[in-house]
Amino acid sequence: MTSSEKGWLKKKSNHVIFFEMKPEYLKEIHEILIDIYGPEKAPVALEKISGIIAKHDKGKKGRRDKLSQKDMIFITYADSFLKEGSRPLKILGQFAFKYLKDIFTYIHILPFFPFSSDDGFSVIDYYKVAAELGTWDDIHALGGSFKLVFDFVLNHISAGSSWFKKYLENKEGFKDLAISVQPGTDLSEVVRPRSLPLLSHFKKTDGEGVDVWTTFSDDQIDLNYGSIDVLVRMVEVLIFYVKNGAGILRLDAIAYLWKEIGTKCIHLRQTHLIVRLFKLILKNLAPDVLLLTETNVPHEENLSYFGNGSDEADMVYNFSLPPLILYSILSSDSRKFNDWLRSIRMPSPEVCFFNFTASHDGIGVRPVEAILDKEELDAVIRHVENHNGKVSYKKNPDGSESPYELNITYLDALSDDDEEIHIRKFILSQALQLSVPGVPAVYVHSLLGSHNWLEGIRQTGRLRSINREKLDYLSLTAELDNKSGFRGRIFAACLDLIKKRREVAAFSPYGSAEVLDIHDGLISFKRELDDDIVFVLANLLPKTLGIHLTLLNPEMESCRDIITGKVYAGEVLLESYQIVWMK
């Protein structure tokens, strides 16, 4: 920090934070704000933000421990489980304590705030728990046994929020909350994740009509981060979530955060600067809290949110993984998967992927645009549509539409006429997710073996409802406890895989994978950490495949499969759609 900066700080601020906070953090925050807002506005932003930090910079800060192979994330809505007369968050707690303790370390509770649409992603009030779901006490009780992942829905806010109402009333501090655009402005370059109109018309209380930016829907008003007031409010929200138990903050739709007319309005430099700002604030206030970016975009674009490996996200969604696993199993071809896995280069050993096969959204196909060709992707789409799945589209700059995501449960995306083969394919997909470098995250309806909820689409008119069914808790637990039933078999197999993975140090989130090109119908790679080595072999073929152990290691005479406990000598015989973890 320069002497002039120190002088300005002493002159302009009464905040103790400037003397408690490490100088290098303050200097970096100041530089980021200059880069975003310019040298004239940056001091105003710095004083406001540092004042918020000062207010919360009390007590002992957490210590950052690296994630390990024992870390697993369970993704669920607060009301995925329903029981008459009970708050959904309380029932979620009962489910977690009964089935997930000592198996999952984190629970990602999808947005549990008051909302007006999009199953929670149109937030009315960032500071409240939706009354129909429960209370902050329920959240804190769950946080007593599990670490928590909170959604930081920071790109947009509900049109029904008090903030947007104040914008329409031209209240001081809210006049620049939204992004208004003059009619006729050329926005053709803007990258769209939807086929809906980009602008939505509203009338202010003084009668003035205004067209505001709405990337996702007319109920989701994009926030204007060109306004210092907006940034300051969202810093306050970030800190509030940390104080209420967030162990990971998921930055929802972060890629679209900053808008600049005449550009694609995705991945802009200012967006990355704001992620860096959040990271710096957490380093000072809560170094144990991790940042996770959600960017459903092509693979290389997704990787950009790692920054230099220490200054942006701690984890990014591995969006290429779900469609690649699906394609590989459906095609019985390992080559695209192996090539992709071989190509991955992490910017540092401090960051890792957030691995998943399913989420509350569909299976995004943009992340494999440069990996699968049109014919390969079309084959996957046909299979999905033939098994009651749907396809969502996005609008391109030229006015055309292209596939954006597949709407189907991951279980039914791997449907087969033979129920036994169906289960084997699905368990193979989940085991592959657990095998590659990164932290595994399992969506509620994958863990529970749920089929497509077609009635949900009819009820809501939204394709994504197909994978968002709310389940009766008592009926569900009876199915799960029936170990010979369809749900019970899948649930037990998934939990067994997770338990066994937790004991294998080589499955560290930060490790790498050495691809072994043995057979086009076999996904094969080695995971290694220190002296712990595991060979992952996944047979994608509808027939038995024999692999000689010398292909894994010339000196290997025998090995044991961690999953089944079976010992092999000389050769491994893999049944159709079987995966083994060989020690």
Q: Is 259 left (phi over 0), alpha (psi -120 to 50) or beta?
A: beta
Contact 324, 355 (CB under 8 A): no
- Report how far residue 129's alpha carbon sits from residue 125's, in angstroms, rounded to the nearest whole number: 8
CB 268 within 8 A of CB 301: no
Annotated active-site residue in 222, 252, 314, 561: 252
Look up residue 308 and give its DSSP letter.
Answer: T
Tokens of 562: 């961690």
Burial class (CB in 10 A: 0-12, 13-18, 19+), 560: middle
What is the strand order of the sheet 579-582 is part of? 513-515, 522-529, 532-539, 579-582
CA torsion 169→170→171→173, rounded to 10°? 140
What's the burial of 2, exposed, middle or buried (CB within 10 Å: 0-12/13-18/19+)? exposed
Q: From CA 241, how far away is CA 278, in angstroms rounded?
A: 13
Measure CA of the first residue to CA of the last residue in the chain; give whole Å: 53
CA distance 122 to 111: 9
The pair of structure tokens assigned to 97 is: 């304590």
Q: Catalytic residue at 206?
A: no
* Local structure of residue 265 (DSSP, 8 states): -
Query: By the 8 A CB rule, do 569 and 553 touch?
Result: no
Per the CB < 8 A criterion, the answer to whether 355 and 439 are in contact is: yes
What is the per-residue DSSP string for 152-186? Answer: E--SEEETTSHHHHHHHTT-TTTTTSB-B--TT--
By three-state DSSP, how is residue 518 classified? coil
Per DSSP, the three-state class of 559 is: strand
- Contact present, 323 and 365 (Cβ < 8 Å): yes
For residue 138, which phi and psi values (nearest 5 degrees)? -65, -40
How far is the C-alpha of 438 from the C-alpha of 22, rounded, in Å?
31
Report how far residue 329's alpha carbon sits from residue 521's, in angstroms, rounded to the nearest whole number: 9
Taking residue 49's Cβ as centre, other Cβ atoms within 10 Å add up to 21
Residue 282: which H helix or E strand, with range? helix 269-285
Closest residue by Cα to residue 275 from 263, 296, 258, 287: 258
In contact, 429 and 329? CB cutoff 8 Å: yes
* DSSP one-letter code for 428: H
DSSP SS3 for 351: coil
Alpha-carbon distance of 231 to 481, in angstroms, equals: 48
- Cα radius of gyration rounded to whole Å, the chain: 25
Q: Which residues are catalytic?
A: 252
